[in-house]
């Protein structure tokens, strides 16, 4: 059975329509996001979300809300570890962690200790696996002299430090 010219013509047109349509759909569906086309519009500018989070965390640090700033910074680094402001986020997170560690606010990483008769700062530090210097700094003490009944926050020194060189 031979196909006539018109039948061949219809088959070719159908093939072009099917393959052309699927090719055009694939072109649209799998193309990368075109942010460059918005550059011609002066009022549209792409800003990475971490830039806003950095500014928000800086404001919270200025207000003294260190725990909230820590949460925002940590989430920003986890969700987008390679943003344009990653270095600034890490630096600020390090500063916030240091401020939280040396603050006299209670936290899960600090033990509240009531000084007993006969206690010395070095013995308290040894007993609770800390250091006298850390206890002095956290509690804003002027000297190593402590008095019975005094409440001290003793930071735990069992932490790790990660140094990330550029």
Residue-by-residue DSSP string for 83-112:
-TTHHHHHHHHHHHHHHHHHSSS--TTEEE
| 125, 135 contact by CB (below 8 A) | yes
Selection from 104, 95, 99, 98 nearest residue 154 by Cα: 104
- Pair (38, 97) in one structural domain: yes
Range of the domain at 9: 5-31
Q: Mean pLDDT, to the nearest integer, of 133-147?
A: 90
pLDDT greater than 70 at residue 138 = yes
Which residue's entry shows tokens 């009531």?
Answer: 114
- Pair (52, 90) in one structural domain: yes
Q: Read off the pTM.
A: 0.62
pLDDT of res. 32? 62
- Pair (42, 92) in one structural domain: yes
């Amino acid at each position: 059975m031979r196909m006539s010219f018109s039948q061949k013509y219809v088959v070719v047109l159908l093939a072009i329509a099917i393959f052309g349509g699927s090719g055009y759909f694939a072109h649209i569906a799998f193309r990368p996001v075109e942010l460059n086309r918005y550059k011609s519009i002066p009022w549209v500018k792409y800003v990475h979300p971490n830039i806003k989070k950095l500014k928000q965390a800086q404001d919270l640090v200025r207000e003294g809300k260190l725990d909230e700033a820590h949460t925002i910074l940590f989430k920003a680094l986890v969700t987008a570890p390679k943003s344009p402001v990653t270095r600034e986020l890490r630096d600020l997170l390090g500063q916030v962690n240091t401020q939280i560690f040396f603050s006299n606010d209670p936290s899960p990483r600090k033990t509240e200790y009531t000084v007993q008769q006969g206690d010395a700062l070095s013995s308290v530090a040894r007993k609770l696996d800390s250091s006298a210097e850390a206890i002095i700094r956290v509690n804003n003490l002027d000297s190593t002299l402590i008095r019975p009944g005094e409440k001290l926050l003793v930071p735990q020194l069992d932490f790790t430090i990660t140094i990330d060189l550029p």
